[in-house]
Amino acid sequence: MSTDTAPQPIASVITFDQFMAVDVRVGTIIAAEPFPEARKPAYKLTIDFGPELGTRKSSAQITVHYTPETLVGRQVLAVVNFPPRQIGPVRSEVLCLGVPDATGAVVLIAPDQAVPLGGRLF
């Protein structure tokens, strides 16, 4: 199978403790809207991670495969313990996880069945 994107090199070896330091949780997108101020096409997302973490905001360059209407209600995995980043007028508090398709466009990572909000990846 041929792809248009070059394979990424394997990252250096880390310890299990280093892996566990990255807090990846499941949340449900409760709001999605265009982000016209972004340099590259993106959406502003509001994601509910349940009662322990609450809602968090994110900016995501996922406009190729998704529309705001198809995003609302979708569960996603996101890193919740990075420091917030200011992206134009948006304070992005979490990093939604995805992988590139054959052309490099982002495909979101999600559980294959509904799971409780805030569940941690292990």
Domain 23-108 belongs to what topology?
OB fold (Dihydrolipoamide Acetyltransferase, E2P) (2.40.50)
Over its length of 122 residues, how does the chain's per-residue pLDDT go in tens digits?
A: 344 566 778 889 999 999 999 999 999 999 999 999 999 999 999 999 999 999 999 999 999 999 999 999 999 999 999 999 999 899 999 999 999 999 999 999 999 999 999 999 99
CB of 14 within 8 A of CB of 64? no
